[in-house]
Amino acid sequence: MNYLNSFPESDLYCFEPNPVTFGILETRFKNNSRVHLHNIAVSDTNGISDFYCNKENPTDSLFLPAIAWMQWVDGKRDALTLKSKINVLTTNLDTFCSSNSISKLDILKIDAQGAECLILDGAKNLLSQHAIKIILAEMMFVPVYENQPFFFEICNKLALHGYSLVNLYNIRYDEETSLQIKWGDGLFIYRGW
């Protein structure tokens, strides 16, 4: 809702691969013509992929949970316990935007539980054309998912396209020690703006 209130002239394109969570979003936004919901995962390819549904829906991912961190997410000891594996449709942003006549994105918000680099790889044309003004991406500093990218990998990938990290927000620390950053959101802008 923050984006709807902050940008009253904008349309929001939202992607949610989990059918249960998608149903909740459909009910919540059924009367809002500015919100365009898609029951699909954003990735680097167009097709079908395995999708792992965990005990806590916000931890669902295209990647399996990493054993080392399965026990702690937001104080919930078993949040990353795998419940089921389903097949989901995938799209990449270049294809989606081209198919929907979207030539630029003001803000790309990525919270994909480890699939951030896949999404960026699927947006190479948009990134190389600097058609995305602002990117707000969740970044992980510890291994939460198998084969996930870490903070520095996302920074490096975006730097190759001319984007710079502005700041970190919503930082989460290790619940036991409060010393190590686990994850947070990084705000990037294209250096040419």
Q: Are 165 and 188 contacting, i.e. CB atoms less than 8 angstroms apart?
A: yes
Structural domain containing residue 181: 2-190
Burial of 53 from C-beta contacts in 10 A (0-12 / 13-18 / 19+): buried
pLDDT band of residue 122 (cuts 50, 70, 90) is very high
Burial of 71 from C-beta contacts in 10 A (0-12 / 13-18 / 19+): middle
Looking at residue 191, what is its pLDDT?
A: 84
Q: What angle do CA 142, 125, 155 make, to 5 degrees?
A: 25
Instruction: Specify the amino acid at residue 83.
Output: K
Between 179 and 131, residue with greater pLDDT:
131
Model pLDDT for residues 53-85, shown as the tens digit of each residue: 998 888 899 999 887 555 555 555 677 888 999
Q: Are 192 and 133 contacting, i.e. CB atoms less than 8 angstroms apart?
A: no
Looking at residue 63, what is its pLDDT?
A: 94
- pLDDT of 12 above 70: yes
Report the CATH number that the domain containing residue 117 is assigned in CATH.
3.40.50
Looking at residue 105, what is its pLDDT?
A: 96
Domain count within the chain = 1
Give how far Cα 68 sits from Cα of 39, 144, 145, Å. Answer: 30, 8, 9
